Amino acid sequence: MTDVDWTKALCLGCERELWFVEGNDSTANADRRAAKQTCLICPIRSGCLDSAMAEESGRGESGRYGIRGALSGKQRYALSQRLPGAQPKQQRAA
């Protein structure tokens, strides 16, 4: 894996809560959009996403927290399912 210079992370010094918002009301959605927009111009976005995908390898959707590389945990899980060697989709608990 490529070394990532985390000192260049645009989320450093930001309100970290924006990357870990819960809920689906309009405020939560606006906060998530703001975090993703910051990620989209972050100079280490690709390394950040690669790092998240490596760390979360083998996890289901519920084991992926926060926004990383402009993707939510749900989006990273969906991406993991499209990668070569993807594990079968995990069943949700009833």
Query: Can you tell me which of 18, 21, 32, 42 binds ligand SF4, judged by CB under 6 A?
Result: 42
CB 79 within 8 A of CB 71: yes
Burial 52-78 (b: 16+ CB within 10 A, else e): bbeebeebbbeebebbbbbbbbebbbe
- Minimal distance, residue 91 CB to ligand SF4, in Å: 29
Query: Can you tell me which of 21, 44, 53, 71 binds ligand SF4, judged by CB under 6 A?
Result: 44
* Cα(45)–Cα(5) distance, integer angstroms: 11
Q: Which stretch binds ligand SF4 (CB under 6 A): 5-13, 25-33, 76-84, 86-94?
A: 5-13
Which residues are at the interface with ligand SF4 (CB under 6 A)? 9-11, 19, 38-39, 42, 44-45, 48, 68-69
